Amino acid sequence: MMGERLVMQESLFYEFRLEDHVPCDHLLRRIDRFVDCSGLRQHLAGFYSYIGRPSVDPELMIRMLLIGYCLGILSERRLCEEVHLNLAYR
């Protein structure tokens, strides 16, 4: 039955910041300070087609490969699973 809400529902919602859940001394935070991929998309823009499916973001690909190298993940399929599951990798 619809009616006037007598109880506030703030407890159903919460704020989530990824920065709050990854430790300051995490290996990937230290690596991120030295890796600058900001100009990579612009540099590679001429190699991407405007037709068909969009391609993988080159910055994302480089960062995922760095994670795989640093953590010894040899399989690309396994690397995709790890990035999907682990918040620190995002």
Report if pTM > 0.95: no
- Look at residue 16 and tell me if it is in a domain: no
Nearest to 64 by CA among 31, 35, 89, 32: 89
* Domain assignment of residue 65, given as a range: 22-89
Q: Over the stretch 6-41, which tens digit does the pLDDT of each residue have?
A: 666 666 667 777 788 888 888 888 888 888 888 888
Check residue 38 and give its pLDDT.
83
Can you tell me the mean pLDDT for 50-62? 84
- Look at residue 36 and tell me if it is in a domain: yes
- Angle of helix 58-71 relative to helix 76-85, nearest 10 degrees, comes to 100
Q: How many domains does the chain have?
A: 1
- Look at residue 80 and tell me if it is in a domain: yes
